[in-house]
Chain A
């Protein structure tokens, strides 16, 4: 199975919104609603931010939201804060678990 495709970088100023994309195929993202997103700060373990395309675990701010259209999933971070600067990975199921290559978010 191939990895999901994410842009390598994204940026925004505090208070702005930024959206990351995660592109797959009809065999993964397009074929199920089990897309999840993970936030990873340097030297730390990934943290679940979004599951089942758009659901937030307890404790994740509602500034984080997810969506999907066709073979592409998206994560939007609204009201950017300095602590949102991190790497973000998407994941789905395609007969096996696949991850995207990650997007590094810089808060300007």
Chain B
């Protein structure tokens, strides 16, 4: 059974950088069929895709966040990470990591089949 677990600070000061890590257990982390993803949900609001990363390190980002987002991967530890710079109160959200299951690694195909439990990050001084 595939499991994803987010970790990182629950409180970040405005203008600083939010950093989270997702640890994956079970399954094949380096399979070419998966993109490892970050998705967030502000309190009481809907889901917003942040970006994802392939095992090769290739990344895709939401254009609205692209200038502030960096996603990286460490296949030796079965982990991938999110960094979001220059945060404001608008970045307060539950952050989920998830697995995008594709067909032969084609990024336009696929769905998010496994999700972490989510972690609330509050931006406040």
On A, residues with C-beta under 8 Å from B are: 1, 3, 32, 34, 36, 38, 44-48, 51-52, 57, 89, 91, 93, 96-102
Contact = CB atoms under 8 A, between A and B. Distances in A.
Interface residues of B, number: 23
B116 A51 contact: no
Contacts of A1: 63
Nearest to A32: B108
Interface in B96-125: 96, 100, 107-113, 115-118
B46 A98 contact: no
Interface of B: 37, 46-49, 52, 60-63, 96, 100, 107-113, 115-118
Contacts of B110: 34
A89 B112 contact: no
Contacts, number: 57
A97 B49 contact: yes
A36 B63 contact: no
A98 B63 CA distance: 11
Contacts of B116: 45
Given A1-B63, A45-B96, A45-B118, A96 B49 contact: yes
A89 B46 contact: yes
Given A47-B115, A93-B108, A101 B60 contact: no
Given A47-B115, A102-B47, 7 more contacts: A34-B109, A38-B47, A89-B47, A93-B107, A96-B49, A96-B63, A98-B49
A4 B62 CA distance: 15
A91 B109 CA distance: 11
A1 B47 CA distance: 14
Contacts of B117: 44-45
Nearest to B113: A48
